[in-house]
Structure 1
Amino acid sequence: MNLSPILKSIKELEKAAIKINDQRKEIEASKGWRTWKKYQMKVRDMNDRLMMAERAFTDRDGLLGMTWHKHLVSI
């Protein structure tokens, strides 16, 4: 069994998570209304990317045997 593709995908997801977390920290570190206004489009972009990432972990048909459970990551 070759796990290389999934390991590569996990690494890419980790890089993306680190990048967006760094961007979040940059925005949170900015203080004041004028600075916040400067980051308004970055915040919108970040929210859109996070929303799309979350949607990628859902399936309309749900999990096998649990069709009501739409999120594919189950703990």
Structure 2
Amino acid sequence: MPANIEEKIVLGLDYIGLAPGFVREVLDVYEAWEGKESVPMKVKELMLIFRIEVRKRYTPYVPPEKPKTKILRDARLD
């Protein structure tokens, strides 16, 4: 038995990468489930984490366009 929390093995979110389709299906079933309001808070938190991770994996990051610099022309006639 671990003496402190640092010695415990913490499950990372890498396992979502192994079965992203399965996690997406779990989310679909959870979202369609009518009794999800009565689930414990820990399950709701887990589903929120799954939703965030699946969104990150399936929605590629597209950086916003850089603002175009305006070309100012000297319109004065000297």
Classify the TM-score, shorter chain: 0.3 to 0.5
- Larger proportion of helix: 1
Greater RCO, CA 8 A, separation 6+: 2
TM-score normalised to structure 2 length: 0.37
What TM-score does the superposition give when structure 1 sets the normalisation length?
Answer: 0.38
Q: Which has the larger radius of gyration?
A: 2
